[in-house]
Structure 1
Amino acid sequence: MTLSRTTTHTTTVLGALIAAAFALSGCATTTGAAPSPSSSASDEATATSTAGATVTGTGATGLDFPVPAGARSVSIDFTCEGVGHYVVEFGDAMAENTSPISGPCGAPAALAWPVDAKTQPSIAVTVDDGIPWTATPLFSTKEFVRDAAVTADCAAFVDVYSALMNADQGYAQYKAFDAATWTARVAAASSQLAALAAASRSSLKGPLTSMSHTVSTATEPGTAQAGIADDVAQIGAACNANQTPYFLKAEFGG
């Protein structure tokens, strides 16, 4: 069995994306005074926040991103100009079991990550060539809190989506079984997906429900994943923002 990491698409190898972010040429500068502690507006009266130096760049760039001692979380105000999309990775996502976060350029975004002793003090930004971007961090001693309902739905989604992927790949690509087996596999996954959508109490309920409806109408062998890309993208974005990335379980091709 092969594990594949996924973000907002069917399967995404984050290592390649991260390597590209560092390899592509670009220029970057760091501005701002040395970080200074200030009172945090968090619910925890004892928590403090530390404003980091603003980092700016053009194009895809990877560079150092100092982390103050005692930090447990970071919120990065990120902007990139023009059209297109960005991918921002804080630290080493593969080693730290966190996730890069992606989105469209043109509007400010607040991107958050946990911080611990394993966190690498670095940032990698992937945008189109010539696109300027700015990242301003605010570190806090307050621990990053994952939404428990989102965490549970992301964990349960792994088996459902893996089953659909394996049904299509096993039938169409690897010729491992016939149409009747594909139908049985998809029916089982569809029932599991419907139950997950009905029980969901998180922000994933909408895309899970939409995806469940689409999958339930799939009758042509090899098309279990047809028409679900937008729903999968929404689910992936929510899991990534919650820093609970999921791994698809590939049955074939390992």
Structure 2
Amino acid sequence: MVAARQLRFRLPAPRTHGGRRPGAGRKPKGARAGVSHHGRPEVTATTPVHVTLRLLPHVWNLRSRRSLRVVEAALSAVRNRLTFRVVHFSLQGNHLHLLVEAEGAAALSAGMQGLSIRLAKGLNRMMARRGRVFADRYHAHVLRTPAEVRHALAYVLLNHRSHRARAGERAGRGTVDPYSSGACFEGWREAVARADAPGVTARPRTWLLATGWRRRGLLSVDEVPAQSIATVFTA
């Protein structure tokens, strides 16, 4: 007697709710969407980071007193964290720049998540609305040398002058941007009016951001950050 042969059928793979598959994952959003989730530079306790956060088009202009109060309240709430510190900031119409220190990549991510949530809640409360506020994930640029930190300080604290120069406007002279932490900055070449109230940012602890950058010269309130620098920090 000849044994019966067992027939084999090709069955489709079972559907699952996980694993790698085409089209999976959160889709980028916003006009400048697509900030990569991979290949970020290494963040260490000794390297400051320049962070940029961009807003969605419906969010009100950040360069107003009411928006400044919201941002200052959020910064003040995270000021005393041990593993994440915002040292400097500046507000532009639809984005903000931060110079931060973090004990590592995880601390940076957690710190920025907490700060972003506070900012979003505060801005939504101000606008009497709900929903998303930020266009996409933050952009982070790790600073490793005194020259890089000096350039970043100039770009953040004097960013309003850079925007005016690119628009063909006169930037003015001898004044510190009121929508920044410039009044608390101790590295100006000129004598500037100091803030009466305590600042909402933390003092730097890294050598680069506290002292090292001074090897490249103090900042002038009349500087205009170079266009090549702007390209690096807004890429």
TM-score for the superposition, normalised by structure 2: 0.24
Task: Report the structure number with the largest CA radius of gyration.
Answer: 2
TM-score, scaled relative to structure 1 = 0.23
Higher strand share: 1
